[in-house]
Structure 1
Amino acid sequence: MTCEQLHHVSLIVNGVERSAAVPARTLLSDFLRHELGLFGTHVGCEQGVCGACTVLIGGRLARSCTTFAVQVQGEEIRTVEGLANGDELHPIQESFRRCHGLQCGFCTPGFLMATEALLSENDDPSDSEIRDFLSGNVCRCTGYVGIVASVKDAALRARGVNGSDQ
């Protein structure tokens, strides 16, 4: 019988220092979900292809299903749970709700986090820039029209323009 060595991992998740002792092969997605109880980060393909597990690590987009928790020791992690302010939706979440940017919702956390990253780099993206930036996220339910409209609406709101009145 072999015992796997545990490693102490300490991260700042959504502004709060969190830690746990885990095996070295523990993926960040599993750390977030199973150790910290943050189930908003979804795991779809387990290969970094679908984007459902997207989080921000130090402000940069990352696939949590292909990142070991020990690799991001001490880093700042932002998950979809870190977007909303209590019961108040984040403007990006509100735009996705208003513009019908989701259906089943499984891919939504990844799209929300990718949108947050996009708008932090480009506050007025074109449709093609949105589609290009979000190309690493897959939705099997929508035709992406609602998602692109949601991102455009969120960009307008972020710039102080009223956005879509849908």
Structure 2
Amino acid sequence: MTLNPADYGQAPPAEGWFPDPTSPGHERRWDGTSWTNETRESAKSQLIEPSALASPDQLNAAILSAEAYSELVDLAPPTPPASVPLLSVATAPKRDRKTRRLVGGLSLLLVFAGVIAVIVGVYGLVGVLALQTTAAILLAVAGAVVFFAGIVVGAIRTRR
């Protein structure tokens, strides 16, 4: 069975010589519709005799006697900017300002509360050392909690 490109919905190749799979080193002629019985030796299979090669002296003489290539090639004119399609540049989505303002305001409020808590905590610590009352201990612990909450919210705010 002979396989033809048309059997697979493809256009057949143009007429010409192609490598013959049944005979390595040979080419078979394609007439545009089917393979012919004409074959020939492949150009790759024809080896050049070493005596036919140029000697290094002959090669150098040929290179030195050749004229340098000096013809300039015209480049294509630049395309006008209007004909070049513009690419849209993807931008990062805008962050929600309401959330940023809320976290920033809460952070600022807790920082001020933390400063006040440190002052009250120091006052409570002095009271604990002097009186050792339960109210003074609770005041010092509450001040420390508010202070550390302010630090945590401030750290979260700066990471965004």
**Same fold (TM > 0.5):** no
TM-score range, shorter chain: under 0.3
Give the TM-score normalised by structure 1: 0.18
Give 1 or 2: higher helix fraction.
2
Give 1 or 2: higher strand fraction.
1
Give the TM-score normalised by structure 2: 0.18
